[in-house]
Structure 1
Amino acid sequence: MNYELELISDLSETLSYNQADFPLYANKIKLEHFDRFTAACHCHLDIEFVLMLEGNMDYYINGNIVTIHAGEGLFINSNRLHYGFTSECKNCILIEVAIPPSLFSEHLAYIQNFWSEKFGNETEDFILLSKKIPWQYEVLNLIVSIYKNILKDKPNPFQILSQASKLCLHISENISTYKQDSSDTWNWLTLAKMTGFIHSQYENKITLDDIAVAGAVCRSQCCTLFNKYISQTPIAYLKYIRLQKSCEMLRDSKKSVSEIALSCGFQSASYFTYTFKKELGMLPTEYRKQYYKNKI
């Protein structure tokens, strides 16, 4: 059986779980489906696990860049800005699993307090995972197991919940703590608010002022934070998200180019087509044809 899910264009602030009433995300992703082999910078409450199946990939996580190779993995802590990319512009295939605290009942204070302690701002941003370390080897195997199990016609929720609990157990027992500078914490939280605003409002008209207001900062500080931590201007990041969403719609819907342009916040179909051609090197219609040709 071929265990694959529908490929996605980016992970937004609120993940789309495999089943609406069971908050857990598992997917297989090809980086070639992203513009310039680079995913959108984002963050979410979920903790995230990555297993590289083929190729090499770089990950930006809260200002750090790490590389993972085939057979290796990565744990990304909660509410960390991150994105995957490859400067070599070569495809890679990976499995991602994301676990939110709500999977273990968000109403249980004890669990939530422990989650905040282990996956809060004063613990490591990420952990590289290797087959050479026994507990990390088990984590890599659990990533595969969760992915396969959640794709079954009738997945056993107790089995998946048990495996997700084991993932959290391994990390909670091995993650290190450190004292983060309060100003740095504020910067990350402010940037997360602004990127979250873009992810949720990209289909509407958005100005630099709107983005700055979302983070309760001035225009200048807004631009400074984006340039420092994402290496993009706020408007460039907004354009990138809109293009990623348009690629997703071109692949996964039968909407016309005009409909997609308006749905993604572009002022007109002609401007969307111009921007798409300039950034991706082909027309939206050519992108759609190429995708379906490669899919066959």
Structure 2
Amino acid sequence: MQIKDFKVDESLKELTSHRTVVLPVACYETKIADNIQGKIPLHWHEEIQFILTLKGEAMVQVNEEKLAVKEGGCLFINSGCLHSAEDISGDCVYICLNVSPHFLLPQELFASYISPYISATNLPYIILDGSEEWGKNILDSILEIRNLIHENSPFYEIDIACLLTFIWQQLIRNGFQLEYSQTEVEKHRRMKEMLNWIHEHYAEKVTLKCIAKAGRLSNSECCRYFKKILRTTPINYLIQHRLQKSLPLLQEPGSNVTEVAYKVGFNSSSYFIEKFRNAMNMTPLAYKKKNFIK
């Protein structure tokens, strides 16, 4: 089932439980345009993820890089990596396969064949090429897993477990050189700390200095982090997060645009309306009325 309203905690960790009834696995089709603001917001989770585009084209951001994933393309996103997705074709649909790393292999093999790969700082993502045999093997396996979950046939859980082991084997057998950089680990840890602080204090008066302090950085270094990793400024990110938080408040019966503006941290309703219109192509009041029509 597609997730249309992503819920994340203060550190952007996704709160959705990615699993069937008995397996720590989730496989579903996602139409990006059906999500709030027409995109998958920035988030992370401990599960590894595969994105296989069935239709259209998605722009996927993984940590600081943006990647176009066209129809038929597939992307592996490693555990713990910040990522988001936007629809650049207007009709993008993709299969999303999320798997707990602990389910890929028996626990006895985790230290040797799982941990080094999900900890490697040079592997935030892998582009899977369906024209290569090993890439096609993974793509075909993802489609088969989707069918097995939908069909719910006898022993399908065992079949899925076998396919996941096969997928992981294909990934680690095909020449990926592992690297580990404490600098990279520290960089992304500080980024998450700053995002965490924004998510806890967005409704208050927030300055660049406050955000930088949360990451133990200077103001200029803080701006550099946001520009490099998120392609935006700290204050612009704050504004977008406040707008995101305003959406469910505007949907509440009897809510007032001015009150909502102050609740999410704007000190001017006119400024809130201006930023909302720029982001959503409608005013907060129009959004509220549109929601009631639905």
TM over 0.5: yes
Partner of 1:225: 225
Deviation of the 1:23 alpha carbon: 3.7
Is residue 2:121 matched to residue 1:111?
no
| Greater mean deviation of Cα atoms: 115-124 or 17-26 | 17-26
Deviation of the 1:117 alpha carbon: 0.7
Change in Cα spacing, 1:285 to 1:171, as seen in structure 2 (3 Å) is: farther
Deviation of the 1:149 alpha carbon: 4.6
Conserved 8 A contact 1:203-1:264: no
Conserved 8 A contact 1:51-1:94: yes
Change in Cα spacing, 1:52 to 1:142, as seen in structure 2 (3 Å) is: same
1:82-125 Cα offsets, whole Å, 9 max, x none, are 33235x5633111222223344699x475155322122224433
Partner of 2:280: 280
Partner of 1:28: 29
Partner of 1:94: 94
Conserved 8 A contact 1:9-1:244: no
Partner of 2:170: 170
Partner of 2:54: 53
Conserved 8 A contact 1:37-1:91: no
Highest CA radius of gyration, 1 or 2? 2
Correspondence 1:161-240 to 2 at 5 A: 161-174=161-174, 176-179=176-179, 182-198=182-198, 201=200, 204-205=203-204, 207=206, 208-240=208-240
Is residue 2:129 matched to residue 1:130?
yes
Conserved 8 A contact 2:6-2:16: no
**SS of equivalent to 1:67:** strand
Conserved 8 A contact 1:74-1:129: yes
Cα distance in 1 between the residues matched to 2:179 and 2:70: 30
**SS of equivalent to 1:124:** coil
Deviation of the 1:189 alpha carbon: 2.9
Change in Cα spacing, 1:113 to 1:54, as seen in structure 2 (3 Å) is: same
Return the letter of the residue paired with 2:127.
Answer: L
Cα distance in 1 between the residues matched to 2:167 and 2:178: 21
Deviation of the 1:257 alpha carbon: 4.3
Return the letter of the residue paired with 2:82.
Answer: L
Return the letter of the residue paired with 2:241.
Answer: I
Change in Cα spacing, 1:78 to 1:225, as seen in structure 2 (3 Å) is: same
C-alpha RMSD of the superposition: 4.1
Conserved 8 A contact 1:273-1:283: yes
Please report the TM-score for the alignment, with normalisation by the length of structure 2: 0.74
Aligned length: 286
Conserved 8 A contact 2:60-2:84: yes
Partner of 2:72: 71
Change in Cα spacing, 1:104 to 1:51, as seen in structure 2 (3 Å) is: closer
Cα distance in 2 between the residues matched to 1:227 and 1:152: 45
- Structure of greater relative contact order (alpha carbons < 8 Å, 6+ residues apart): 1
Conserved 8 A contact 2:121-2:185: no
Deviation of the 1:254 alpha carbon: 5.7
Percent identity between matched residues is 23
Please report the TM-score for the alignment, with normalisation by the length of structure 1: 0.73
Return the letter of the residue paired with 2:286.
Answer: E
Partner of 1:5: 2
Partner of 1:85: 86
1:68-92 Cα offsets, whole Å, 9 max, x none, are 2111111122233333235x56331
Unaligned residue ranges in structure 2 (runs of 5+): none
Conserved 8 A contact 1:57-1:68: yes
Partner of 1:265: 264
